[in-house]
Amino acid sequence: LNVTEEKFVLDTLAGCIEYKSLLDVVVNAFYVRDGRYCLICERNLYIVICYLATFQLEELGLQHFSRIVKSLDTAKMQKFLRFFFNALYLNTWIKDEWSQFYDSLYVKENWIDPLLRWQPKVQQLIEHLTDILSNRTTTVKSSTVTQPKEFNLTVPKPRAIPRPLPIPLLEKRPPVPRSTYKPPKEKKQLEEIKTKNRQKAEVTNANKFRCATMKPEKGEVCYKILYYLKIPQEVVPFLPQYLEVVWELVLRQYFEELQIDNIPIKLNAAAILREGALYQRKMEQELKRIENLLRGAGDPSEFLEWQKQMRGKDMEEQLAEIECRRLQGKLSHEEAVLAHQNVIQENKKKAGLMREEKAELMHQYAEKRLQEQKEMRELVEQVVEGHKNAKQAKIKLQKYKQRIVQEVCEENRELLRQALEEEEEKLRKRYELIQQIRAIESLPSIRHKFVDLTETGGHGLICEMSIVELRERLALLREAQKAAEEEKRDQIIHEKQAKEQLLLDKLDQISLFRAELGRAAALKQEEKKRKFQSGERPMKDERILNLQKKIVEKTMERKKQAGLL
């Protein structure tokens, strides 16, 4: 190819790849509708022609485009161009499908309108291709030499045309029930159920944190925790929601300030070893701390106290932030309910319009059905009139068929007699063969074989042994396995006794540590009771107050809108 042709081929290939989605829409529809019998291997040919017609027709010109089309198969090009340049298709589904990939205004101005402008000229090219096809067909028919003769076959009996059924008259339609234009009872019941469920949910949401209210016997412990953690009273009803935030701090304060009772708890081996290792680490840490103090290190209690206060402030800020997010979510819910109510009103208007359109379409369909029934009745009358003169031809044809049937029956009888004679001969020979086989089987034969258990199989293998030797070796293996099991059992018993002794020692050590920790916790609690004083309740965050006010306003607006609906 020269430079110009090579550039044209590369541009065409790049365009087909770039607009593949648009070209596939047209070619796939062509294969479904007009090109059902076209080969799938010719798909790329149709894609290239579609691309040239859509995007390159202005640049190529009709003359060059016609030369390309005429150089290809005439029948295929005539069929594809007639399908693609159909004005109805271009204005309807092709435009809609292309608008899914590009803007509809852009598709109409840049692709659909140019195709419609070229459509009259391309239609002349399609008619020229149609004339070529018709001339080719005429030439082929005139050049036929072989004159085929019709076979002398039995003419099939024409099917009798059934008598047309009387067309029933349309029954009088019952009037439309009044309930059609009234909302159903089920919908009203569902609305009542939704209202009750919403009220129940609001009550549940208001009371779902009752679990934060402790029993009287446990209230003292919880109020001590809230007192020492400085948690405001306004946050107490929502304490379970914020439990993940304050869980670690609550546990630490609880185990530092409350007395640990030595309650007898049944522990398994893993729990005993785990608790023993914990106390061992604590003892090592305490020894290391005392050693550091002896060397002159400082006491970190002041830093720990400051760190505790900072964590308390951070926790209060987190609680305020969580409350703000919760109130924002509730505000969003109220706004969503208002939007849903507006959508319901719009849907009701659309449903009324759709009912009117449906009634109009049903009226048009009924008129169309009456016209089709009238045309069908006229066609049936014409066919019955045309078949009245065919009775004599049917009688002659029936006599001719009866004579042929008699001749065929005689031939079938002769063939059947010959087949029966051949079958009898086969049965006789089979019977004689069965008698010979039974005589051979009735002869006596020696079926017993004596086995010596001390002899080998005689296969010539190195590992061969007799059954007696095999049994002796199996007995020795069983004795050795039994001895190994006894030794393993004794070893397991000794290990179990050593482990039990270790657990008893760990339990004694754990009891001592628990007693010491209990006394230390009691002393620390008494010291903190003397140290802390009652604090003032912090004020609510300004953001929380604003959000609560907005929620109340949105709730009132939603209830008012629900009353109007």
Which contacts of 227-232 are long-range, i.e. CB under 8 A and separated by 24 or more positions?
A: 227/532, 227/534, 228/253, 228/257, 228/528, 228/532, 229/253, 229/312, 229/315, 230/312, 230/316, 230/535, 231/315, 231/316, 231/319, 232/316, 232/537, 232/538
- Model confidence over 146-164: pLDDT tens digits? 888 888 888 888 877 777 7
Residue 347 domain-assigned (yes or no): no
Residue 71 domain-assigned (yes or no): yes
Residue 13 domain-assigned (yes or no): yes
Helix (H) or strand (E) holding 391: helix 391-441
Which amino acid, one-letter code, is at 162? P
pLDDT band at 479 (very low <50, low <70, confident <90, very high): very high
Q: Pick the more confident residue, 212 or 19.
A: 19
pLDDT above 60 (res 231): no
pTM for the model stands at 0.29
Report the range of poorest mean pLDDT among 5-19, 27-41, 62-76, 394-408.
Answer: 394-408
Query: Can you tell me which residue has the tokens 């090109």?
Result: 35
Percentage of residues of the chain with pLDDT beyond 70: 81
What mean pLDDT do residues 267-276 have?
82
Q: Which two tokens stand for residue 24?
A: 């596939």
Residue 350 domain-assigned (yes or no): no
- Model confidence over 176-229: pLDDT tens digits? 888 778 877 888 888 899 888 888 877 766 555 454 444 444 445 455 455 544
> Are 51 and 16 in contact, with CB atoms under 8 Å apart?
yes
Measured CA angle at 348 (ends 346, 354), to 5 deg = 105
Residue 317 domain-assigned (yes or no): no
- The CA radius of gyration of the chain, in Å to the nearest whole number, is 51
Distance CA 498, CA 508 (A): 16
Distance CA 113, CA 62 (A): 16
pLDDT above 50 (res 35): yes
pLDDT band at 260 (very low <50, low <70, confident <90, very high): very low
Q: 3-state SS of 310-354?
A: HHHHHHHHHHHHHHHHHHHHHHHHHHHHHHHHHHHHHHHHHHHHH
pLDDT band at 261 (very low <50, low <70, confident <90, very high): very low
Query: What pLDDT shows up at residue 534?
Result: 47
Query: What pLDDT shows up at residue 444?
Result: 65
Q: Where are the alpha helices (DSSP H) in 85-169?
A: 87-89, 95-99, 104-107, 113-142
**Domain range enclosing 84:** 3-135
Closest Cα partner for 313 from 203, 256, 231?
A: 231
What mean pLDDT do residues 545-550 have?
82
Q: Which two tokens stand for residue 102?
A: 């590009």
Residue 177 domain-assigned (yes or no): no
Report the range of poorest mean pLDDT among 190-204, 235-249, 429-443, 471-485.
Answer: 235-249
pLDDT above 70 (res 377): yes
Residue 479 domain-assigned (yes or no): no
Query: What pLDDT shows up at residue 541?
Result: 65
Distance CA 531, CA 528 (A): 5
Q: Which two tokens stand for residue 5?
A: 């042709």
Query: What pLDDT shows up at residue 426?
Result: 87
- Model confidence over 296-344: pLDDT tens digits? 766 676 777 888 888 888 888 888 888 888 888 888 888 888 888 788 8
pLDDT above 80 (res 488): yes
Q: Domain count of the chain? A: 1
Which amino acid, one-letter code, is at 455? E
Residue 12 domain-assigned (yes or no): yes
Q: What are the distances in angstroms from CA 162 to CA 20, 158, 166, 383, 384? A: 54, 12, 12, 10, 9
pLDDT above 80 (res 436): yes
Query: What pLDDT shows up at residue 537?
Result: 42
